[in-house]
Structure 1
């Protein structure tokens, strides 16, 4: 945790300090070594949030784009009593979860169901090959009529497979952790993979980092995403109706299995 309560004020960890967890109220101790970023840890090994994981400088850098009041917000489920710490929750109700380490599909799904109105921001430089693979796959993106929006037949050739089945938008940050020789720039593009159904093409948005942050801060992000996804879902419903109509002149097999007909051979 980045903040703990001292005299009811949220304070960052510093050597020698003790405080209380903002979620459970138990004693936490400042951990200020030289390997990991300074953080608060519960006096007992057990953490009050089962989804908690160690943070990196990449996490902290992203959190610093938002006010302290929005960071590390404890969100309880009144009915179940389950409680989790959202990395960022804006005043508009949008949750941002920053993910550097590998996450199991079951936990990813559980977080999406718990937070609902959320977006993932994923460190695209966790594995060295991820960025080069993305650049290679990006060459096959197809432009749409909307500026900055692209379509892809095979998103698995660009993005880690663990994120393809997400039910919420996933933002990939390929520059935030620092690429050697390429300093971070607020205008560096992020790439948003919208919720994807394998039967249809994937939609991807190229968004300047500062534009993403601004739309999250002013509340426009959720409105824009919902409007866009409504359009996408209408198109997918139309495609599904065409598929189910045997008299529309479209080959059912070619529609259902397009990849069999257009995928390039891989060696």
Structure 2
């Protein structure tokens, strides 16, 4: 843990430090070595939070991008008595969990149920094969509008453990390197929305700076249900157009001139953009999604 209590104040670990755990009030000691980031640890081997895990440099770097009073917030379920520490909880009640290590699907489900209004940020650099698989999968798709990608077979692109998540899952493929990568896709956070649009998974690209700026300002990063409903409607309109132009001609009828795909795709894209009210930003790459103001 980054913070413990000393004289009633939240403090970070320092050499020879002593404090108490904000969750269980047990004694914790400062771990200030040269191999791991400085942190507090319970005197025994067992952490009082069963969901706690060793914090990596990636984990700490992400938490530090949010205000200190949003970090490591203890949440309590009054009915079950269960207590857990959210990595980040904003003033609007949005919990953000940063996940580096492997996570059992059962625990993932339990954490999503406990926190409710939450999203995941997943370290996409942990397994070497994850980014090449993502790159191969995303290369076969184009954004339908302003950073929204449709994935008919998301299992070919993303780790299976996250495909059935009930909350948004953001994949970070740049990792701890804060500098801009020459691979522009690594500079984007990729958010998998829960649910499906006409059977397709929806992936949204956004910049890390935009995520850090917008997430603390609202209860939900993206209006998921509205977004899926709008995309589904556009897909149904496109299918209806395709069915119309494939109808057989009546006897003696003249063939109609079919509009170019660019024309009707653009019209549908405009309608979707108007529904979702996503302002375009010319200074950002075209695959970046602009989270609308609320």
TM-score by length of 2: 0.74
Equivalent residue for 2:53? 53
Q: How far apart in 2 are the matches of 1:218 and 1:138? A: 30
Equivalent residue for 1:102? 102
Residue 225 of structure 1 and its aligned partner are, at CA, apart by 3.8
Q: Secondary structure at the match of 1:228?
A: helix
Equivalent residue for 2:244? none
Give the 4+ runs in structure 1 shifted more than 6 A.
233-236
* Pair 229,26 (structure 1): closer, same or farther in 2 beyond 3 Å: farther
* Pair 223,105 (structure 1): closer, same or farther in 2 beyond 3 Å: closer
* Pair 106,11 (structure 1): closer, same or farther in 2 beyond 3 Å: same
* Pair 206,178 (structure 1): closer, same or farther in 2 beyond 3 Å: same
Identify the range of structure 1 (36-45 vs 86-95) with the bigger mean alpha-carbon deviation: 36-45
2:87–2:96 contact (8 Å) kept in structure 1: yes
Verify: 1:206 aligned to 2:215, yes or no.
no
Mapping of residues 1-267 of structure 1, within 5 Å? 1-144=1-144, 146-178=145-177, 182=181, 188-197=187-196, 200-219=199-218, 221-222=220-221, 224-231=223-230
Q: How far apart in 1 are the matches of 2:232 and 2:115? A: 22
Residue 221 of structure 1 and its aligned partner are, at CA, apart by 4.2
Q: How far apart in 2 are the matches of 1:16 and 1:51? A: 26
Cα RMSD, aligned residues only? 2.8
Q: Secondary structure at the match of 2:202?
A: strand
- Aligned residue-pair number: 238
Residue 227 of structure 1 and its aligned partner are, at CA, apart by 3.4
Identify the range of structure 1 (157-166 vs 97-106) with the bigger mean alpha-carbon deviation: 157-166
Identify the range of structure 1 (199-208 vs 226-235) with the bigger mean alpha-carbon deviation: 226-235
Q: Secondary structure at the match of 1:60?
A: helix
Q: How far apart in 2 are the matches of 1:129 and 1:169? A: 22
Q: Which has the higher contact order (CA 8 A, sep 6+)?
A: 2
1:14–1:38 contact (8 Å) kept in structure 2: yes
* Pair 233,198 (structure 1): closer, same or farther in 2 beyond 3 Å: closer
Q: How far apart in 1 are the matches of 2:112 and 2:233? A: 23
2:196–2:228 contact (8 Å) kept in structure 1: no
Q: Secondary structure at the match of 1:142?
A: coil
Residue 207 of structure 1 and its aligned partner are, at CA, apart by 0.5
User: What are structure 2's unaligned runs of at least 5 residues?
Assistant: 241-246, 248-294
* Pair 172,84 (structure 1): closer, same or farther in 2 beyond 3 Å: same
* Pair 184,141 (structure 1): closer, same or farther in 2 beyond 3 Å: closer
Q: How far apart in 2 are the matches of 1:114 and 1:83? A: 10
Residue 29 of structure 1 and its aligned partner are, at CA, apart by 0.4
Q: How far apart in 1 are the matches of 2:164 and 2:129? A: 21
1:142–1:152 contact (8 Å) kept in structure 2: no
Q: Secondary structure at the match of 1:120?
A: strand
* Pair 13,179 (structure 1): closer, same or farther in 2 beyond 3 Å: closer
* Pair 181,67 (structure 1): closer, same or farther in 2 beyond 3 Å: closer
* Structure of greater Rg: 2
User: What are structure 1's unaligned runs of at least 5 residues?
Assistant: 243-248, 250-267
Q: Secondary structure at the match of 1:50?
A: coil
